[in-house]
Every structure is written in structure tokens, then in C-alpha cells.
């Protein structure tokens, strides 16, 4: 185990003006760099341009081994230090909208699609891996595709099949937006398509049929009234949720629908297995009238296990200490679960307010990026005297 350093005890109020000016300058540099990344559109499945940028940036450091597989780009130090930490960030964003495109930087604030999720985090990781030769441990940085879409397209999954050796590490940090706090573990996610059966008839004579759309009423009421549980694991509170996210019924204005579909999403605490989650939702749906004996059907559309906190890991203990904040549960699914499935301790830690992710209000400040950057520098054992290397 490498010795870790926590944050210096010096407070911002006691810093010399020159030190504070230096922090502001570094924060602005990182913010502008994140703005460059936001300016490169990279919706899921269209990451080639940003992968080219990342690869070129990393190739500027000859002491790193750089590997590109598809549009996934990895860089790692090549020394003989005993521990290896992996830093990971996804290159993709959700699709752009008319009111959310491009990057805007003003007064120390970056706005734009992906500013929070997660190009501010990518900027931090790119800066750190260029400086990692002086770290107290070996460092791998992974920049991967298709995190925002179905699991089968995820870049980490592809890498684990093609070059699993590149993902070997003692612990991992995902630079997902967490507001500078450690978010431990993550929820599992389950999406089910529920088809309620009916019997077709003319709307002038509805008594000859069974209206499947009307059966949705009871189902939706039960889902709306359902009280989800809250589970504390390692002091982190995981709050479950169960929601209808899509409803469809009917083929014409004069036909009683013989089928109605509701898509349900369940975010479950990591103490449940995937089968536990499916069984729980089945039980809730049954109370809402779901009955396979009358032809109702249920299909799993998407399913991913969660991850329990790994707060007993040496890296995560050091990260919590260096952050100076109480860790909390990750309410959402992230690729922390991917590493957990490999037995690798992992946590989420990055700049930006996670509640702004995927919204038209995505924005991150220079101070937020600087804080996460310096915290990870300390945890990795990179000297604060090592200069920021964003060019050349």
C-alpha cells in the first residue's frame, strides 16, 4: 500500500494572495480545456472526433503507453511501482437539443451539453494522466464510449472482452459528477416492458371487448402509490425508486385496445440481486392487476446489477479523507458496477452537480474542477510542484 496524503490543513482564508491567484489561474486553465471538450460533439455512437482529440493529446507524452481500440482510448504509466489505480471517464453525451449545443465560458463558469456529464471530469483525468509519471503509484486512464446507452454497446464491456489486461488495477475512480464528494457504490437498474392483454371490439359496442388501456389505470395507480425502501450500507443511504416511464395503447379511434404496454424502471439498492429486483417488481405489478393467466406478458428490456460501497479500500479511504467530505450513496447506475463485478474497489468522484446532468442547465465552475483535480493529485501522490500540462 502506498502512503497517501490528505489535503493540507491550510484554509483558503489563510492563503497568500499569490497562492490564491495561482489557484484561480489553474482553475481557469482546466475550465477552458473542459470547454474545448464540450465543443467537440460526442453523442453516444459518434465519439470518433473526441477520441481523435484525446489520442492526439495523450500521444504528446512519450512516457505513456497509449492504446486505441475502436474509439476507446487508454493511457498508462509503464513503471514498476507496486500499486495501480485506474481513472475512467466516458466520452459520450446524451443527444443535443436546439437549446443545448456548443460551449459557453464566462466568469469562471462553463455551460453546455456534457459540461457536467462528464467533460469537466474528462479534463481532470487528461491533465492527471499527463502528470502521472511522478505519481506514487502506477496510473491507467481509460476514456471509453457509449456509457449513456444500452449496456451491450459500453466501451468498458468491449475492452474487457478484447484486452482485459489493460483494465487490471487495484482500485478505480470514475470521474462521474459528484460535486466533489465521494459517491460510493451505485444502484442497480431494471427496465421491464409490461404488456396488459385485452379484447378488441368496436367502440360503439365496447361491452364486447376488454379495454386494455383501462387496465393501465389500476397499474399506474399502484406504481404511483408504491413506497420504495431505503437501505443504509456502510453509512451510505440508497433510496430505491419505481416508475412508469412509457405508456402505449390503441391503434385507432374507433377500436377498443386489445393491448397496452407500460415500461417500468426500477432503481434498486445494491443489497438486492438482479433476480431479487425482478421478483419485487413482479409482486408490485401483480397488485396492480398483472396476470399472466389472462395473457399479460413481462419482458426484461435492460438489467444491470448495482455495486456495494468499497469504503474499506485503501484508495477510497484516502479519497474520502482528501475530499474532506462525508461519502454518500450513488443514486443512479454507473460503471462502478462494472469494476465491482470484477472484484475491483471503485467509487464515483468528479466535478459538477449531478442533479444538472442531462439537463438544459448543465454548468460547472472553475473552482469545482480545480478542487477535484487537486484532490486526486494528492491521492495519487503527484507533487503539487508538478506543472499542469495541457499543451505540448
3-class SS of residue 22: helix
In the residue annotation, 111 being an active-site residue is answered as no
Q: Both 162 and 43 in a single domain? A: yes
| Residue at 37 is within a domain | yes
pLDDT band, residue 12 (cuts 50/70/90): very low
Selected catalytic residue, list 47, 111, 147, 170: 147
Domain boundary among 284, 304, 324: 304
**pTM score:** 0.86
Q: Both 175 and 194 in a single domain? A: no
Q: Both 153 and 196 in a single domain? A: no
In whole angstroms, give the CA distance from residue 355 to residue 375: 22
| Residue at 387 is within a domain | no
3-class SS of residue 199: strand
Q: Both 231 and 192 in a single domain? A: yes
In whole angstroms, give the CA distance from residue 14 to residue 157: 47
Domain boundary among 286, 304, 322: 304
Q: Please, where are the H alpha helices in 191-329?
A: 212-225, 274-287, 314-323
3-class SS of residue 255: strand
In whole angstroms, give the CA distance from residue 349 to residue 118: 11
Question: Per-residue pLDDT for 385 more than 80?
Answer: no
| Residue at 386 is within a domain | no
pLDDT band, residue 103 (cuts 50/70/90): confident
Average pLDDT over residues 148-158: 92
Grid cell listed for 190: 431494471
| Residue at 67 is within a domain | yes
Q: Both 170 and 153 in a single domain? A: yes
- The CATH number for 274's domain is 3.30.70.360
Q: 9 or 345: which carries more pLDDT confidence?
A: 345
| Residue at 44 is within a domain | yes
Asked if residue 216 has a cis previous peptide bond (ω within 30° of 0), the answer is: no
pLDDT at 11: 42
Beta-carbon count within 10 A of 331 CB: 18
Average pLDDT, the chain: 92
- The CATH number for 141's domain is 3.40.630.10
Q: Both 60 and 109 in a single domain? A: yes
In whole angstroms, give the CA distance from residue 88 to residue 349: 10
Average pLDDT over residues 116-127: 97
| Residue at 34 is within a domain | yes
Question: Per-residue pLDDT for 24 more than 90?
Answer: no
What range does the domain containing 319 cover? 12-185+307-380
- CA atoms within a 13 Å half-sphere pointing along the CA-CB vector of 242: 22
In whole angstroms, give the CA distance from residue 111 to residue 101: 9
Q: Both 214 and 256 in a single domain? A: yes
In the residue annotation, 92 being an active-site residue is answered as yes
- Considering only CA atoms, which of 120, 115, 192, 157 is closest in space to residue 363? 115
Domain boundary among 304, 320, 340: 304
Grid cell listed for 153: 454497446
Q: Please, what is the angle between helix 17-38 and helix 48-59, to 10°?
A: 140
Instruction: Convert the pLDDT of each residue in 275-331 to its tens digit.
Output: 999 999 999 999 999 999 999 999 999 999 999 999 999 999 999 999 999 999 999
| Residue at 357 is within a domain | yes
Domain tally for the chain?
2
Selected catalytic residue, list 92, 111, 258, 296: 92
3-class SS of residue 190: strand
- Considering only CA atoms, which of 275, 308, 262 is closest in space to residue 190? 275
363-365, strands of its sheet edge to edge: 103-106, 109-112, 363-365
| Residue at 5 is within a domain | no
Average pLDDT over residues 53-75: 95
E strand map for the chain: 64-69, 72-77, 84-90, 103-106, 109-112, 138-144, 171-174, 183-184, 188-197, 201-202, 230-233, 236-239, 241-249, 255-256, 259-268, 297-304, 328-329, 346-348, 363-365
Grid cell listed for 390: 495541457
Q: Both 120 and 196 in a single domain? A: no
Question: Per-residue pLDDT for 17 more than 70?
Answer: no
State what percent of residues in the chain have pLDDT above 90: 84
pLDDT band, residue 2 (cuts 50/70/90): very low
Question: Per-residue pLDDT for 57 more than 70?
Answer: yes
Grid cell listed for 379: 491521492
Q: Both 141 and 245 in a single domain? A: no
pLDDT at 147: 95
Q: Both 129 and 18 in a single domain? A: yes
Q: Both 100 and 141 in a single domain? A: yes
Instruction: Convert the pLDDT of each residue in 218-243 to its tens digit.
Output: 999 999 999 999 999 999 999 999 99
Q: Both 341 and 283 in a single domain? A: no
Grid cell listed for 150: 444500452
Amino acid at each position: 500500500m502506498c502512503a497517501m496524503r490528505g489535503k493540507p490543513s491550510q484554509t483558503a482564508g489563510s492563503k497568500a494572495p499569490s497562492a490564491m491567484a495561482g489557484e484561480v489561474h489553474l482553475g481557469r486553465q482546466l475550465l477552458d480545456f473542459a470547454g474545448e471538450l464540450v465543443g467537440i460533439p460526442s453523442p453516444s455512437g459518434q465519439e470518433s472526433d473526441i477520441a481523435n482529440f484525446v489520442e492526439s493529446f495523450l500521444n504528446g507524452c512519450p512516457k505513456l503507453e497509449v492504446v486505441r481500440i475502436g474509439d476507446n482510448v487508454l493511457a498508462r504509466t509503464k513503471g514498476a511501482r507496486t500499486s495501480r489505480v485506474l481513472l475512467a471517464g466516458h466520452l459520450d453525451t446524451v443527444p443535443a437539443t436546439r437549446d443545448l449545443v456548443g460551449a459557453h465560458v464566462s466568469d469562471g463558469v462553463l455551460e453546455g451539453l456534457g459540461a457536467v456529464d462528464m467533460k469537466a471530469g474528462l479534463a481532470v483525468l487528461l491533465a492527471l494522466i499527463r502528470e502521472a509519471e511522478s505519481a506514487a503509484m502506477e496510473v491507467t486512464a481509460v476514456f471509453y464510449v457509449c456509457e449513456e446507452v444500452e449496456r451491450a454497446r459500453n466501451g468498458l464491456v468491449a475492452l474487457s472482452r478484447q484486452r482485459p489486461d489493460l483494465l487490471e488495477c487495484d482500485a478505480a475512480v470514475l470521474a462521474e459528477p459528484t460535486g466533489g464528494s465521494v459517491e460510493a457504490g451505485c444502484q442497480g437498474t431494471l427496465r421491464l416492458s409490461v404488456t396488459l392483454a385485452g379484447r378488441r371490439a368496436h367502440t360503439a359496442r365496447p361491452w364486447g371487448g376488454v379495454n386494455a388501456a383501462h387496465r393501465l389505470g389500476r397499474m399506474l395507480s399502484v406504481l404511483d402509490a408504491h413506497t420504495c425502501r431505503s437501505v443504509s450500507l456502510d453509512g451510505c443511504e440508497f433510496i430505491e425508486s419505481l416508475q412508469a416511464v412509457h405508456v402505449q395503447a390503441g391503434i385507432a379511434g374507433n377500436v377498443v385496445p386489445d393491448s397496452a404496454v407500460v415500461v417500468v424502471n426500477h432503481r434498486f439498492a445494491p443489497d438486492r440481486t438482479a433476480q431479487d429486483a425482478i421478483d419485487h417488481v413482479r409482486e408490485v405489478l401483480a397488485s396492480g392487476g398483472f396476470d399472466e393467466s389472462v395473457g399479460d406478458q413481462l419482458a426484461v428490456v435492460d438489467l444491470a446489477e448495482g455495486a456495494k460501497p468499497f469504503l474499506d479500500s485503501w484508495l477510497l479511504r484516502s479519497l474520502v479523507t482528501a475530499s474532506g467530505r462525508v461519502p454518500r450513496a450513488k443514486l443512479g447506475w454507473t460503471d462502478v458496477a462494472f469494476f465491482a463485478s470484477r472484484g475491483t474497489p471503485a467509487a464515483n468522484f468528479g466535478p459538477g452537480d449531478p442533479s444538472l446532468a442531462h439537463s438544459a442547465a448543465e454548468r460547472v465552475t472553475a473552482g469545482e474542477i480545480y478542487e477535484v483535480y487537486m484532490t486526486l493529485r494528492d491521492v495519487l501522490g503527484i507533487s503539487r510542484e508538478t506543472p499542469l500540462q495541457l499543451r505540448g
